[in-house]
Copies of this chain bind each other. A is one copy, B any other.
Amino acid sequence: MTVPGGATRLDAQLAFLAEADRLKSVLRATTLHDASRRENSAEHSWHVMLHALVLAEHAARPVDISRVLTMLLLHDLVEIDAGDAPIHGDHDPAEQEAKEQAAADRIFGLLPVDQRAALRAIWEEFEAAESDDAVFAKSIDRVQPVLSNLEAGGGTWPEYNVTPEQLESRVGTKVARGAPALWAGLKSRIDAWFAAN
């Protein structure tokens, strides 16, 4: 039973925070800009939040930046159990979603019940990608790896055999939904890279 206040409640909070440390060991398909190593999902989450803060003015519709930041803070925690599914990889979306739901049950389940419900709800809102805040958060989550790959001279695009058409369909449509002006800005940079490579 979770006690509202006192040691047991703090124990549950600290158990969740300790478990979250493992996100620092989940590696993504993208590298750091200097291409020295793969990026992990914890530092990616931080970087995506910084992108959201700085690029919020490009949102298609007004957003509550506080809710966007909270979504992005939590959005990849399920990868501790479910792993990262690269957007240019060939995972089964239904299987990945089932894994992520089970991960959310276990990981958010470490928290006291009230926080478990609150944090799970905002993660579910992000996943559903329907509210204005979630649509923008999803856009920015797609923008950061594109910029990383551009900064890393194409990064892992060649490894994943990424084409401009694939970027348009898998990334562009999602970015444009939440931040159309931003996708226009990225598109010219992407086209320049593919023209030169």
With A7-B185, A46-B73 as given contacts, are A21 and B148 in contact (CB-CB < 8 Å)? yes
Number of interface residues of A (CB under 8 A): 46
- CB of B36 within 8 A of CB of A25, answer yes
Q: How many copies does the complex hold?
A: 2
- CB of A151 within 8 A of CB of B21, answer yes
Cα–Cα distance between A115 and B65 once the two chains are bound (Å):
15
- CB of B50 within 8 A of CB of A147, answer no
With A32-B25, A69-B73 as given contacts, are A47 and B51 in contact (CB-CB < 8 Å)? no
- CB of B43 within 8 A of CB of A24, answer yes
Cα–Cα distance between A47 and B39 once the two chains are bound (Å):
16
- CB of B69 within 8 A of CB of A115, answer no
State how many angstroms separate the Cβ of A121 from the closest Cβ of chain B: 14
- Quick check: is A187 within 8 A (CB to CB) of the other chain? no
Cβ contact of A66, chosen from B40, B66, B185, cutoff 8 A: B66
- CB of B13 within 8 A of CB of A39, answer no
A residues 115-167 near B (Cβ < 8 Å) are 115, 119, 144, 147-148, 151
Q: Can you list 24 residue pairs at the A/B interface with Cβ under 8 Å?
A: A7-B185, A10-B58, A10-B182, A10-B185, A14-B185, A16-B54, A17-B51, A17-B55, A17-B144, A18-B33, A18-B151, A21-B148, A23-B43, A25-B34, A40-B43, A42-B46, A45-B46, A46-B73, A50-B74, A53-B70, A65-B66, A66-B69, A69-B69, A69-B70
> Which residues of A are interface residues toward B (Cβ below 8 A)?
7, 10, 13-14, 16-18, 20-25, 32-34, 36, 39-40, 42-43, 45-47, 49-51, 53-55, 58, 65-66, 69-70, 73-74, 111, 115, 119, 144, 147-148, 151, 182, 185
